Amino acid sequence: MEIAELPTFSGEAWLTDLVVHAVNVGACVSWGCTTCGTMPFRRSLVESAGAAIGDHPTDHEVSLEIATQLRDIPDRPELVGAIRFIIMFLYARSGSKLFEQELRPLFERASAGHEYRTMAAHHARIVEQRRAHDMRNDPEEIARRKALKEVEKQERLLRRAERKTEIDHAWRARQVSQSRAEEG
């Protein structure tokens, strides 16, 4: 269900209140939503952080406020989607260096830190799968494997021909031996 607007939250636990409210009313908290772009949640997130800071906060101050509040969100399964969205939002907003140096340490020991580690492990698996896929499908790698298979095939055919020759020689030797036995 698409929610047009979410209110601005204030108070000491404004982010927890926002996340719980968003989940309760069914607001979209999906990072890749192509319908609403998760704009109501994004707007409420930034506006609530700005209201908590005061007049004319910088983007960096807003990000720090969100990361600080993120450590206080309770560990409840229904809130995981919103927590993941906020982590992605902070990462995209600040960049990897600032996120790792300043923002992640603020919530690292909380349930949001656990979610981040889960997300990072998932990302590492996906990157490794893509790397392996790219390596398997590299034209040079394909040509190398094809050449190796051809060499193996030729070696197998050569061994087969050698076995056949040995069998033929043994058969001829038995034939010659039988004919001499019959003659003699």
- Give the domain ranges of the chain: 14-136, 143-184
Q: Which two tokens stand for residue 63?
A: 């990000």
Q: How confident is the model at residue 55 (pLDDT cuts 50, 70, 90)?
A: confident
Q: Of the candidates 82, 141, 153, 83, which has an alpha carbon nearest to the alpha carbon of residue 112?
A: 83
Task: Give the model's pLDDT for residue 184.
Answer: 66
Which helix (H) or strand (E) element contains residue 28? none
Mean pLDDT of 152-179: 92
pTM beyond 0.75: no
Q: 139-183 vs 111-136: helix axis angle to the nearest 10? A: 50
Q: List Cα–Cα distances, 180 to 42, 155, 174, 184, in angstroms.
A: 99, 37, 10, 6
Q: How confident is the model at residue 183 (pLDDT cuts 50, 70, 90)?
A: confident
